[in-house]
Structures are given as C-alpha cells and as structure tokens.
Structure 1
Amino acid sequence: MNPPKIRNMEEFAAISGISRPTLSKYFNNPDSVRKTTRQRIEAALEQHDYRPNVYAMNQNRQTTRNVGVIVPNLADPFFNEIGRAVEVACLEAGYSPILLSSHGKPELEAENLVSLRSLKPAGVLLAPFGRASDRKTIEKVSKEVPTVLFDANISETGAAFVGTDNFQSVGLIVEYLCRSGEPPCLFEMEIPSNPNALTRRQAYLQSMEHHGFAAHILQAKGMGWDFEEIGQSEGGALIRDGAFPTNTILCSNDRLAIGMLSAAYKLGRKVGHGATCDIRIAGHDDHPFSRFTCPSLTTIAQDYAAIAERAATALFRIIDTGKSPSEREETLFEGKLVLRDSA
C-alpha cells in the first residue's frame, strides 16, 4: 500500500520530525543550516519523495532568486540566441531565469511584465520593442523591481541599458562598402519595429556625409515582424524596378537582407563581388542564419555574450546593493565587421 502523499510543508515537518522554521531556512538556503541538519532534511526528502511548492514559497517572500527575461520574439533566432546567453548568465550567478516571449506583440510585453511582478522576481532583464512598448508599464515596473534593458534602448524609462554601439557598427560597414565598391543605399522599414533601426538610419546618414557621398534611403511600407517576407516582396520590387541608385544595398537588419537575397535570386540578379556580379547586399546583426545564405551575408556581428554578461552583471549589482545607480548607466559594445560573399 502506497504511503499518503505529503501535500505541504506542515505535513512534511510533522512526518520528518524537523521543525517548520528549520525547513523554511533550508529551502531558502541549504547552507544556512548545520551540515548534520541538512543531511537529515535531505534524507527525509528522499525517503518521503517530497518536493516543496516553490511558487507558494516564493509568494511568502519579499523577493525570490528568480530573474525574469523578456524578449520580443523567441521564434526569431536572433532573440533566441541572445535570450539563451542571458539565461546562461543568470544560471551561472545562481539565479533561476524565467524566459518569456512577447511573440511579436507589444501588448503581450506589458502583460509579461505585470505577470512577472506578481511573482516577486529579484530583477528583470528586458529586450523591449521600443517604439511600440508600453513605456508607462516599463517605467512603473522598473521603479518597483530592479530592471536592466538590453538590445533596444528606451532612455525615458530610467532603467539601465546594455547594447551595441550602432553609430560605430554602421559606420564600420558603410566605410567598408564605400571603400570596396559603389556607396550603399539603405533599405529599412518605413515604421521600424525596433529603436535600433532609427539609430542605424542616423548613423548611415552621418557616415555617408562623412565619406562625401549622397545618402539614399528606400523603405518598405508598413510594420511587422515578417522581415524576410518584407525583404523579399518589397525589396524585390525595388530591385526589379531599378529603384536603387547604386548597386550596393545595406539592409537595416540581416532578416531584411536574407529576404533581399531571395528576391535577387528569383530575379536572376547575381549577388556578390566583381564585374560579373549585379548587386551587393549587406546587413547588420550577424543573424545565426546569415553564414548559411547563398551567397553568405556580409554583416556586422554583435557581441551577444558580452551584452548578456554585462546586462546580467549590472542587474545583479543593483539587486545586491539594493539601490539603482545615481545616474542611468548605458553600456555600448562595438560591432565587428564580418566579410562574406554577398558584398
């Protein structure tokens, strides 16, 4: 006959002979009890096959060892990769990450933040949508819970930010494209989904002026998360109609560029270097798929690992000290030019 299932910590305390306060102390931090007591508790846990309700325990604490990590869309391999790096940084620091996706919906980002707040997390790491984000919700949560933004910056919220120096990175690839062939036109979304796109536009304009070339910006209408489809359909139409004044296209992100490469193939335009090629295409981000396109995509690599580690470190410092820095911290990492066959 199977023994009755233990439903809560009170029943476990009664059957194990270990006091409820001692058990709470152990579950909060096993090293906080004496070695002999810890061994008794662990033996009882094994014997009675009991595991506490961590959610219920957390509800009784002021804060937990949980860290919320919210990204715009885990279906996007870029955010999957950077989300994974942030998750690993949390685990290595002894925190339990709760990784949430907003599935490309800004309203879900706000819902995720509110839901996380009810779980009493130690802190939140947020890669916001930016322009479409509910800034009041982000600002409210960041005042109540230590919060660090990464990837996309919203300076008005007051939360610390860690990301890529887009002026440096775009300047780097514009300089290369101007030096190695015809100066680049910029292809972007008319309504950017991410504030990085606006910064990259400004960086492109600044860099083109610096090199003494006229800037040409062509835009895909509308907004959304289907960048490859937009790059293929609208970017392809621009290529077909001869809308680009030069034979070099710098896309605001790699996903647009991947769609452009597909469009060029369908139109019979050869992408790459040299006199036999019709067009050069480059991107930004070093998307996980960019090395596997045909031809492989010239781009800017962001330092995922460094961004993740610094964002997590900044958050843990705020958590440990119990207060935010007197001035808003912004940490920017330089991008790295990755030369491949497309440009």
Structure 2
Amino acid sequence: MARSAYKSMEDFAKACGVSRPTLAKYFNNPQDVKPITRRRIETVLRQSDFEPSSFVRHLSSKMVVNVGIIVPTIYDPFFAKFVSHIEAALRGRDLRPILISSQTAPDLEEEAAERMLDFKVAGIIVAPLGNLSRPGVFDRLKSEIPTVSFDVPLGDDVPFVSNDHRFGMTAMVQYLCRSGEPPVLIEGPHLTDNVLIRQDAYRQCMKAEGHEPLVVDFDRAASWDMERLGREQMRRLLREGLPGKTLLCSNDRIAFGVISAACEAGLKIGREPGDDIRVAGHDDHPLSEYVWPPLTTTAQDTETIAFETVQQLVDVLGAEQRGETIVPRQKRIRSTLMMRRSA
C-alpha cells in the first residue's frame, strides 16, 4: 500500500486530527501529550513518510540550531548593518545564522526561499524585496518553518518588526518647517510600501504645519540603484527649475544622488547663511555622516530592530516547543532625528 505524503506540518496535523502546536509538542517529547493523542499521531506516522519540521528535530535532539536570514542585498551598507546586528543577536542566544542575499532579484529571492527549506533551518528571518517579490514566494516557507520578517511585512500571520516610518518622517518635516523653508519631498522608487507610508506622513504633517505638500514623483523604472536615480532626478529638476530650496529625500541613498548633482552644478548645500539649498534624508545610512556636507536624516534604530526581530523568532520557537500558539505581533521602533550640516 502506498504511503501517504504530506507537504507540511499543517497537512500532517490535520491528518492526525490535532493542532500544529500539539504535533510539535509530540515530536519534542511524546510523553507530553495524552496517550490517546499519541496513539493517533503514531498511527498516521506509520502510514506515511512524514519527516517533522527541522526546528522540532533541533529542539528534541539538542543539535546546533541554524537560523536562516534572507535580505535583498548586502551590497548596501544599510542592510549589511542590519545583518551584523541580527547575527550578533542570534549568536547571543546560541543560534547559528545562515545568510543568503537575493541580490535584489525576484528569481534569486525565490531560490533563497527554496535553499532555506533544503538547509532545514530551525527558523527564518526575512527582509522581502517588497513590490518586486513574486506572489506567494514565501508561502511554503511560512507553512513549514517559523518565520519573522523585518523592514517589509509578509502578512498578518507573520511576526514583523520595522522602523516607525510615519514617526520619523513627521519629526523631520516639523524640524525643516520650523528651521527654514518648508520641504519638497523627492520621491524614490516604489520598491516597498514604506515609500508610500513616508509620503503619506509627509503630506499629513505639511498640512498640519500649514503648508501645501509638494511631491516630486519618481519618474524612472524601479531600481535599487538609488544613488544614480537620485542624481538623475536632481539633474532633471535643475534643468527644469528647482521646486524649492529645501529638498527632503525619501531615503538617504536618494539624497546622496541629489547632493552629487547639486555639487556638480556648483550649488552650496547646508543650513548656513549663503548656502543655496538644504538637503535631508531618512534612515541614517552608515555613510550619511561622512558625505559632504554631513546629511541631516532620521536614524533607524537598527540594533533594536534586529534584537526585537530575533526575540520574536525565539518566542515563536519557544511556543512551538511548548505546544502553544502565539498571536503574531507587529512592532515599530521609533527613529531619532539627526541634525547635521546639510539642513
């Protein structure tokens, strides 16, 4: 007789007539479940080729626990900084990180998700590509391995930690309005919904400050090559006429390109008397304090975001081990205004 095949813990749990947490509890220690439940699981197990998910095997055998990390890129020092903090937080809990970069390519992101399943990691931390991700690319991963996302959410069923983009943008707009000419927002590519959240916060805050919002829409194909895109956008604005003298960029990398084009045109950037324009960004990219002039921005608390992301994964793993279900939480960490020479 052909043995039954099950694609995931959920499928196998349904066949046994138990919940996934109960199944995880059985695989961690069969004596922890009621005898009638144990017999039911073992009957279905004998009739199938089912292999328990990797995190259960790790916990029950006391093996080294591997945790996968998928990020859009490590070429960008901003994500490299996140990864460094996540790795440190994992090692502090005796968890071993395995990193794959999707290199900003949807096909490589899909491949990364498949590789993590092959590696049989105990848990996964993901920063998705966002709007470039293929539909359902992480569905199987989420169903088989405890998953937590940061920067971009994976849905209401997955714990998520992020910067509070609305808070940071509001703080920046208030500062710029009260220290000089109201800002014009220079959009970046719509790679994630974070761009739209920041734009909405800008519009609301400008109105609250008594000013009409002015957004320079992004007019290029979406790309992660943001410094180039920012420079091209600024060159176009210089040809057509600047819409204002305070330019608030949707992220620091766009601001780097804007500063490059402004310097190329001979403009003085800064908040001192005699300067031509002010430029500000968002995120506190690791290079933002080293460009000239140093960039005024809002600093994401990358260390706290990384710590909270790892903590959420540890909480999920612990709940699965105990046979419990926890409600996925979304947590947003406030940023800090960094006032520097550029604005």
Same fold (TM over 0.5): yes
The residue aligned with 2:126 is 126
Letter in 1 for 2:225: D
The percentage of counterpart residues that share the same residue type is: 37
| Other structure's SS at 1:136 match | coil
The residue aligned with 1:145 is 145
The residue aligned with 2:294 is 296
Structure 1 residue 274: Cα displacement: 3.2
User: Partners in 1 of 2:55 and 2:246 — Cα distance?
Assistant: 59
The residue aligned with 1:184 is 183
Asked if the contact 2:55/2:122 (under 8 Å) is kept, the reply is no
The residue aligned with 1:273 is 271
2:82 corresponds to 1:82: yes
| Other structure's SS at 1:140 match | helix
Structure 1 residue 126: Cα displacement: 0.5
The residue aligned with 2:202 is 204
Structure 1 residue 243: Cα displacement: 3.7
Runs of at least 4 residues off by over 4 Å: 58-61, 323-326
Two-structure CA RMSD over aligned residues (Å) = 1.9
Structure 1 residue 135: Cα displacement: 4.0
- Identify the structure with bigger relative contact order (alpha carbons < 8 Å, sequence gap 6+): 2
How do 1:212-231 and structure 2 match up within 5 A? 212-220=210-218, 221-231=220-230
The residue aligned with 1:171 is 170
The residue aligned with 1:4 is none
Deviations 1:273-321 (A, max 9, x none): 1330111100001000000111000000000110000000100110111
The residue aligned with 2:110 is 110
Asked if the contact 1:240/1:267 (under 8 Å) is kept, the reply is no
Structure 1 residue 326: Cα displacement: 4.3
Structure 1 residue 59: Cα displacement: 8.4
2:63 corresponds to 1:68: no
| Other structure's SS at 2:337 match | strand
User: Partners in 1 of 2:307 and 2:324 — Cα distance?
Assistant: 18
The residue aligned with 1:338 is 338
| Other structure's SS at 1:137 match | coil
Among 253, 256, 277, the residue aligned to 2:254: 256
Deviations 1:164-215 (A, max 9, x none): 11111100000000000111111113x4112211211111111111112111
Structure 1 residue 92: Cα displacement: 1.0
Deviations 1:43-78 (A, max 9, x none): xxxxxxxxxxxxxxx989834611001110100000
Deviations 1:146-180 (A, max 9, x none): 11101122435x21100111111100000000000
Asked if the contact 2:226/2:253 (under 8 Å) is kept, the reply is yes
| Other structure's SS at 1:285 match | coil
Unaligned 5+ segments in structure 1 are 1-57
The structure number with the bigger radius of gyration is 1
User: Partners in 1 of 2:93 and 2:54 — Cα distance?
Assistant: 22
Aligned residue-pair number: 283
Deviations 1:76-134 (A, max 9, x none): 00000001111111111101100111111122112101110121111000011111123
Letter in 2 for 1:241: E
Q: Give TM-score scaled by structure 1 length.
A: 0.79
Deviations 1:221-261 (A, max 9, x none): 211011011111222221342142x2111111100001111
User: Partners in 2 of 1:168 and 1:279 — Cα distance?
Assistant: 25
Asked if the contact 1:62/1:120 (under 8 Å) is kept, the reply is no
How do 1:13-24 and structure 2 match up within 5 A? none
User: Partners in 2 of 1:205 and 1:160 — Cα distance?
Assistant: 29
User: Partners in 2 of 1:254 and 1:73 — Cα distance?
Assistant: 16
| Other structure's SS at 2:217 match | strand
| Other structure's SS at 2:103 match | coil
Letter in 1 for 2:130: G
| Other structure's SS at 1:174 match | helix
| Other structure's SS at 1:124 match | strand
Letter in 2 for 1:123: G
Specify whether residues 302 and 278 from structure 1 end up closer, same or farther in structure 2 by C-alpha distance, changes over 3 A only: same
User: Partners in 1 of 2:154 and 2:336 — Cα distance?
Assistant: 24
Asked if the contact 2:54/2:122 (under 8 Å) is kept, the reply is no
User: Partners in 2 of 1:124 and 1:316 — Cα distance?
Assistant: 11
| Other structure's SS at 2:190 match | coil
Asked if the contact 1:132/1:193 (under 8 Å) is kept, the reply is yes
Specify whether residues 326 and 90 from structure 1 end up closer, same or farther in structure 2 by C-alpha distance, changes over 3 A only: closer
| Other structure's SS at 1:292 match | coil
| Other structure's SS at 1:62 match | helix
User: Partners in 2 of 1:202 and 1:59 — Cα distance?
Assistant: 42
User: Partners in 1 of 2:171 and 2:239 — Cα distance?
Assistant: 28
| Other structure's SS at 1:296 match | coil
